């Protein structure tokens, strides 16, 4: 089976540059939850993580949706293997890497679930936390006037010193400038409604600014402590040092977005449209 694609374009044009692999056809049902997992060269982690997701969500209404972001290893083969083993899995492939945000946007656009759970593909996020975040999201939705984002908070991070330090610095600067009140925006484990995400502005690296984007849309952000684990196999494919350089540009851009939008206050009317 061939995996097709073309060059990377801005996210708004994504259907033009991402083509469906065989297992990305429309599902026969619309599940409550789609677990969206962006991966690049994570072949060794595919089967163990899918097994954990299935165990964590056993008996629930869900699908697993992987986006292979131009992997050069055995990732496609392991995805086929998981599907043949009966996993509720669909996937797409970027012909070449377009970045983590592009992979997340692709997955959410093609996912079928009403709710989305995003999960890093390296196994450091614990799928056992997904039901907790989903329950929090479902409970918070009734009390919120706008969209709800439930974000994982890695209280005890299992990363190297450089990664922890750079993340702490970035979180401090971001929180001070954007006022998003979120202790850990970099955690890959998040739950939100699919339609709420699709209504947000999309840009490269946007996944690191989801709390600020949800607040800008009049929403609410809830942080929940989650488990964090050491990487068991492979190495990081979305580098730490690269994030620091683009982070400044992204931060300035998001500050501009925040100051160029005023949310309308909608009043109910008694008039008839007929």
Residue 272 lies in a domain: no
CA distances, 267 to each of 261, 264, 270 (Å): 19, 9, 10
Structural domain count of the chain = 1
Residue 196 lies in a domain: yes
List the chain pLDDT tens, one digit each, 274 residues: 233 333 454 444 444 444 444 455 566 678 999 999 999 999 999 999 999 999 999 999 999 999 999 999 999 999 999 999 999 999 999 999 999 999 999 999 999 999 999 999 999 999 999 999 999 999 988 776 789 999 999 888 765 556 655 566 666 566 666 667 788 888 999 999 999 999 998 888 888 889 989 988 889 999 999 999 988 876 666 555 445 555 666 666 666 666 665 565 656 655 555 4
Residue 198 lies in a domain: yes
Domain that holds residue 28: 17-259
Residue 264 lies in a domain: no
Q: Determine the Cα–Cα distance for residues 190 and 153; give it in Å rounded to an integer.
A: 9
Residue 5 lies in a domain: no
Residue 229 lies in a domain: yes
Residue 4 lies in a domain: no
Q: Determine the Cα–Cα distance for residues 41 and 1; give it in Å rounded to an integer.
A: 19
Domain of 23, CATH number, reads 3.90.550.10
């Amino acid at each position: 089976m061939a995996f097709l694609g073309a060059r990377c374009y801005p996210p708004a044009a994504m259907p033009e540059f991402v083509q469906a692999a065989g297992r990305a056809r429309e599902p026969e049902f619309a599940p409550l939850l789609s677990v969206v997992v962006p991966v690049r060269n994570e072949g060794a982690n595919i089967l163990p993580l899918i097994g954990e997701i299935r165990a964590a969500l056993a008996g629930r209404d869900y699908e697993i949706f992987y986006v292979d972001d131009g992997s050069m290893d055995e990732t496609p083969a392991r995805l086929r293997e998981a599907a043949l083993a009966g996993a509720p899995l669909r996937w797409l492939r970027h012909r070449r890497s377009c970045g983590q945000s592009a992979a997340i946007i692709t997955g959410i656009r093609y996912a079928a679930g009403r709710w989305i759970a995003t999960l890093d593909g390296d196994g450091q996020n614990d799928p056992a936390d997904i039901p907790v975040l989903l329950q929090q999201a479902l409970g918070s939705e009734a009390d919120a006037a706008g969209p709800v984002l439930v974000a994982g908070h890695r209280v005890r991070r299992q990363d190297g010193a450089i990664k922890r330090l750079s993340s702490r610095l970035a979180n401090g600067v971001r929180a001070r400038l954007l006022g998003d009140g979120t202790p850990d925006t970099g955690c890959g484990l998040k739950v939100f409604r699919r339609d709420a995400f699709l209504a947000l502005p999309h840009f490269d690296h946007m996944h690191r600014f989801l709390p600020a984007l949800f607040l800008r849309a009049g929403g609410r952000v809830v942080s929940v402590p989650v488990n964090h684990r050491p990487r068991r196999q492979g190495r990081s494919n979305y580098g730490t040092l690269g994030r620091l350089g683009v982070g400044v540009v992204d931060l300035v851009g998001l500050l501009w977005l925040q100051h160029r939008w005023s949310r309308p206050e909608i009043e109910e009317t008694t008039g008839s449209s007929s």
